[in-house]
Structure 1
C-alpha cells in the first residue's frame, strides 16, 4: 500500500534523482575537459541560448537581478564559455553569446544526458523509465525548461 508513504519523500526523491544525474553529468564533463563547469553555469548557458542575450534578458530568464546575472557571466567569460559582443541591433548594449567552448559543453551535456538516461533504463527497465517519464509529464504538465530554478532555491 503506497498511501502510508509520507508526502515529504516525493520531493526529496525527485531532488535526489536530479542531484544524482547532475553530479554524474559534471563528473563526466570534468573528465571530458570541462572541470570548472557548475550546475548554475549550465542553467545560465541554456538561458543565453544560441541567439545570445543581454544581461537584463539573462537576469529575467534566470529569475535573478541583472547584477547577479552579470557575476555569473563574468565567471563564464573567465572560463571561456561566453563572450560579450556589441549587439548588432542596438550598439549601446552588449550581447552575451556562447563561445565555441560553451557550445561544446552544451553539446557534450546533451550526449551525457542521453547516456545517463540509458543507464536509468538499464537499471529500471525501459518500460518502467518510460512510465516514470510519462507520469511526471502528466503531474508536471509541462516539460518546458525553467532555467530560473536555481534562483528559486535562493531566498
Structure 2
C-alpha cells in the first residue's frame, strides 16, 4: 500500500457537479492499493497516517500528529500511485490491485483511520474520476509505503 500524505490548510475533492467533500486544516491522503495487499497493510498504513508527527508544536517543531491538532483527513483512492513508466512513455498499472480486490482494502483503511482518529474521515468516490484541490501547508508532503513483510 502506498500513500502520498500532504499537510494542508484546506483540501477538497469533487466528482461531477453535485458531489463534493472538503476539509480545513489537516491531511490530504492519496491512497493506492498494490497487488498482494491485505487488511494487515491497510491497518498498518491507517495507524501510520494518523500517528505521523508532522504538525508544529508550540516550539515550532514538527512534533504533533493530526489527531492532536483537531485536524481532519481527506482520503482519496488513487491506483495511479503504482504506475510504472520505466519502459516507454505510457505508464502501466500492473502493480495496482484489481478494482474488486482494492475497494474493500480502501474501505478498511477508511474505517481504521476513523477509529484511530476518533472522528469521521472525508473521502472521494472510489473508482470515479475526481478533481482534487488543495492548499499545501509548508509544503509538507511524504510518500509512505507499507513494509515488504507484515
The interval holding the TM-score normalised by the smaller chain is: under 0.3
| TM-score normalised by structure 2 residue count | 0.26
Pair member with larger Rg: 1
| TM-score normalised by structure 1 residue count | 0.25
Which structure dedicates a bigger proportion of its chain to helix?
Answer: 1
Which structure dedicates a bigger proportion of its chain to strand?
Answer: 2
